[in-house]
Structure 1
Amino acid sequence: MSPSKLRLKRTPAEQAEHDLRKARKIARKAAKHRRQHDEDEYDESDGHSHRKKRRRTSVGLSSNDIDDSDSEYGPQPASSHRAHKPDYDRIQAEIEEQRFRDKLWGALGDDERLDSVEASLNSYAHVPRRWRGGGMERMDDESDVDPRYMEDEEYAEWIRAGMWRKKHAAEHEEQVRKQAEHNARKAKERAIREETKRLERVEEEARRNRRRAREQMRAGEARELPCSPWPIYLAYPAGKNQPPSALRIDDFTTEAISSFLLPHHEEDYNSEASKKGRRERLREAMLRFHPDKFEGRVMARVRSDEREIVREAVGVVARTLNTLMAQGK
């Protein structure tokens, strides 16, 4: 057959006819081989001449002789040609049976492949790259990609990327190194941010603790009227270990405040320098006992049940200072 000649596929009928011819040819060859083998054994046992004599004798026998021999010795065996004649129907049936079994095995193999494909699909959840987020569309990391589940474009890109990495090994190593440095830098920045947040939380907790401690201290150091720094002598104990005297609103007189802030034993009491000094003291006391400033600086430390009387005392002191400042002009 020439190389350019086409070989067409046989139809099922042609294939069956071809198999039948092949089976007949094999059967004929087997029968011929058995006949030759029987003849060789016969020649070795009785000799060629005796075989010819027996053949002539058997050929010369009449039908009566044959019937006698059959009745005496039983039915004679059939000739070798008839004994080894192939049974084409049986051969055809065997061929059909073998074909049927082959088809069954093929169907079983298809079922097994389908089962394996289903198991693979169930065990490997493939997400197409175009549906991935967070920068996963790049093909830098292919450790978790199975090419069996790639689409045509993805597979072609995967092959091209692999060939490029193989041909440009140095550039690929440089990219890998830069990517590793980038990842390390990102990890370091993330660690710094986390540490900063942790320190901020610690500092905020410390501020809350300090604020709570100050509030507790203020609550423990809440002042009463006698404990406030009033500009009168009665507000201060005579000795170190003595408690302050009990004060009343009536104790805040002009004479008591003037004697505390403006003592009369100074020399040159009526001089300009002395007057200027007194005005400075009165102005300083007015800044200290101004109702608004006193409310913001001291009132928070005063006990809640003493705040009204303290406010009244502050008002008395402020009015007295205004009077003294007006007299000194």
Structure 2
Amino acid sequence: MRSAGRPLSRDETQRLIEKHERLWTQLPDKVDSVWNDFPWPMLKPPATPDDITANHVTAYMRSPCWLDSDKKSTKDRVKEHMKRWHPDRFETKYLPKVVESEKDRVKQGAGNVARLLSDLLRKENENSSSSNIFGD
């Protein structure tokens, strides 16, 4: 078990990402979901929607510890996660399975994630277009 405040090692980060991917496959069959059942895209689990910040989501998405990081760009990974967290999809597929007492918190957290992923995608698009300003 890691001590509070210490960053995750590369192995710990890879295990966390793998756990999150497994959770996404299990989530559609889960009933009575609660906040902690969701694979929030952060290296440290958030306790509240306000804990979900641009810095945390960006660090997670840009982590070099993704097993497919040599094949998939951050931009592609963000797009993939946007599909998962998009409000229309999330609120019809996952939110109905959340226990009533947690629904508002989960909905707000998912909304924060969707907004932050959208902002990150915009930045990734700006970075990729500005790095190729002369069409090289």
Query: TM-score w.r.t. structure 1 length?
Result: 0.26
Matched, 1:250 2:60: no
Query: Structure 1 regions of 5+ residues with no counterpart?
Result: 1-216, 236-245
Matched, 1:259 2:59: yes
Question: Aligned partners of 1:304, 1:290: CA distance in 2, in Å?
Answer: 20
The residue aligned with 2:35 is 225
1:89-115 CA distances to partner (integer Å, 9 max, x unpaired)? xxxxxxxxxxxxxxxxxxxxxxxxxxx
Q: How does 1:7-18 map to 2 (within 5 A)?
A: none
Q: How does 1:151-300 map to 2 (within 5 A)?
A: 221-235=31-45, 247-264=47-64, 277-300=73-96
The residue aligned with 2:110 is 314
Deviation of 1:265 after TM superposition, in Å, equals 7.0
Q: CA RMSD, aligned part only?
A: 2.6
Matched, 1:323 2:133: no
Deviation of 1:234 after TM superposition, in Å, equals 2.5
Deviation of 1:264 after TM superposition, in Å, equals 5.0
Question: Aligned partners of 2:39, 2:98: CA distance in 1, in Å?
Answer: 12
Give the residue type in structure 2 aligned to 1:223: S
Deviation of 1:250 after TM superposition, in Å, equals 2.0
Q: Partner of 1:294: helix, strand, or coil?
A: helix
Question: Aligned partners of 2:61, 2:122: CA distance in 1, in Å?
Answer: 15
Q: Number of residues paired by the alignment? A: 95
Q: How does 1:74-223 map to 2 (within 5 A)?
A: 221-223=31-33
Give the residue type in structure 1 aligned to 2:50: D
Could you say which structure has the larger radius of gyration? 1
Question: Aligned partners of 1:234, 1:300: CA distance in 2, in Å?
Answer: 25
The residue aligned with 1:301 is 97
Question: Aligned partners of 1:320, 1:233: CA distance in 2, in Å?
Answer: 15
The residue aligned with 1:178 is none
1:269-309 CA distances to partner (integer Å, 9 max, x unpaired)? 9xxx88x6111100000000001100111112200111111
Question: Aligned partners of 2:44, 2:99: CA distance in 1, in Å?
Answer: 20
Query: Structure 2 regions of 5+ residues with no counterpart?
Result: 1-28, 126-136
Give the residue type in structure 2 aligned to 1:282: V
Deviation of 1:318 after TM superposition, in Å, equals 0.8
Question: Identical aligned pairs, as a percentage?
Answer: 26
Q: Partner of 2:47: helix, strand, or coil?
A: coil
Change (3 A) 1:279 1:223: same
Question: Aligned partners of 1:248, 1:309: CA distance in 2, in Å?
Answer: 7
Contact 1:252 1:316 in 2 (8 A): yes
Query: TM-score w.r.t. structure 2 length?
Result: 0.61
Give the residue type in structure 2 aligned to 1:248: T
Question: Aligned partners of 1:265, 1:305: CA distance in 2, in Å?
Answer: 35
Contact 1:234 1:247 in 2 (8 A): no
Question: Aligned partners of 1:265, 1:231: CA distance in 2, in Å?
Answer: 13
Question: Aligned partners of 2:36, 2:65: CA distance in 1, in Å?
Answer: 27
1:133-187 CA distances to partner (integer Å, 9 max, x unpaired)? xxxxxxxxxxxxxxxxxxxxxxxxxxxxxxxxxxxxxxxxxxxxxxxxxxxxxxx
